[in-house]
Amino acid sequence: MTTTASTARDDAAGAAAPAATPRRGRAPRADLSFRQRLNRFDVQASPYFYIAPFFILFGLVGLFPLVYTFVVSLNNWNLLTGPGEWVGFKNYAAELSDPFFWNSLFNTISIFLLSAIPQLVAAVFIAAILDQNIRAKTFWRMSVLLPYVVTPVAVTLIFSSAFDEKYGLINNMLQAIGLDPVMWKTQTFPSHVAIASMVNWRWTGYNALILLAAMQAVPRDIHESAALDGAGSFRRFFSITLPSIRPTMIFVIITATIGGLQIFTEPKLFNPSSAVPGGPQRQYQTTVLYLWDMAFNRQNFGKASAIAWMLFLLIVLFGVLNFLISRRIASTESRLHKRRTTRRLQASRILAAASEEKNL
């Protein structure tokens, strides 16, 4: 009897109790109107539509040629007759055993190192000067960008004339001070220095403006606080400015790496009288110039595509190494900063304890 009464009370309470409150969050789909569904679709899909043109354009002009080049590298492809027999990775094996390929790779890395390292150092120095309170800031900032505006062909022709072995301006100046003329277009290292000087002259100002924009984004309050603590200009530059612009430095290093390993115009036009691209002994023939010679002079598109893919993998490898080294440097600096902060806190605690004991 008691069980029957309690069951009846529970049934009555359940009937009188309101329906369970739905979960917070999205409303049931059946309760949404067409306009609400359209608004929800707009919020969710609009970002993808906005970035879709970039990926479509990248797929057409970047990804598809990359994949198609890999397919061509697996065939015995001629410039005039078109695709031939399937050879697999024989083109890669043939190029890896070709001394001309390794010579071009050595020239590319040598010119890259001679151009990238001085270029980045000079760009940081110029950006630091332009970041100061100097007169005619706009004039100087526009002046450092003028070499970038000049076309690479004009730059190469001017420097080719200046580095001429018989009547060039550089050798005339060396002879005027009693030095022997340098064989800029015959010897390996002088030719690399001459080509690297063209790259440095054209790209230093461009990188300097990028670094200058990053320096100006550093809060001035930090510099003022460091100056009040007694830090000099050099200490503030190496302890505040350089760590603050590290992401921009990584960007500049990676872009300089990509551009330096793809150098073509400067060595191609450095000595127009040479019948062999890259000098009579190929002493400054870069990998891209060797690729061009393989494709259009020897008409072997299969091997040229294999060279292009190996250069692509090399650029990716250099980019990853730059990223890892930069991250390692950043982690090391952060650990040193934590150690310095801990030491300062310990020193301040000791001083505070000593002052309390003295007051007692």
Mean pLDDT over the full length of the chain = 82
Q: Which two tokens stand for residue 19?
A: 């329906």
User: Which residues have a Cβ under 8 Å from the Cβ of 330 and sit 6 or more positions away?
Assistant: 246
pLDDT higher than 80, residue 145: yes
Percent of the chain with pLDDT over 70: 87
For the entire predicted model, the pTM comes to 0.75
What is the DSSP secondary-structure string of 59-125?
Answer: IIIIIHHHHHHHHHHTB--BTTTB---B-TTHHHHHHHT-HHHHHHHHHHHHHHHHHHHHHHHHHHH
How confident is the model at residue 337, as a pLDDT? 61
User: Which residues have a Cβ under 8 Å from the Cβ of 111 and sit 6 or more positions away?
Assistant: 192, 195, 196, 199, 260, 263, 267, 284, 286
User: Which residues have a Cβ under 8 Å from the Cβ of 124 and sit 6 or more positions away?
Assistant: 208, 211, 242
pLDDT higher than 60, residue 73: yes
How confident is the model at residue 114, as a pLDDT? 92
How confident is the model at residue 87, as a pLDDT? 87
Q: Is residue 25 very low, low, confident or very high in pLDDT (cuts 50, 70, 90)?
A: very low
pLDDT higher than 50, residue 1: no
Q: Is residue 110 very low, low, confident or very high in pLDDT (cuts 50, 70, 90)?
A: very high
How confident is the model at residue 20, as a pLDDT? 46
The residue among 7 and 327 whose pLDDT is bigger is 327
Q: What is the pLDDT of residues 282-334, one digit of tens each?
A: 999 999 999 999 998 888 899 999 999 999 999 889 888 877 877 776 566 66
Question: What's the CA gap between 72 and 91, in Å, rounded?
Answer: 10
SS3 300: strand
How confident is the model at residue 329, as a pLDDT? 67
Q: In DSSP terms, which residues pair with 75 in a beta bridge?
A: 86
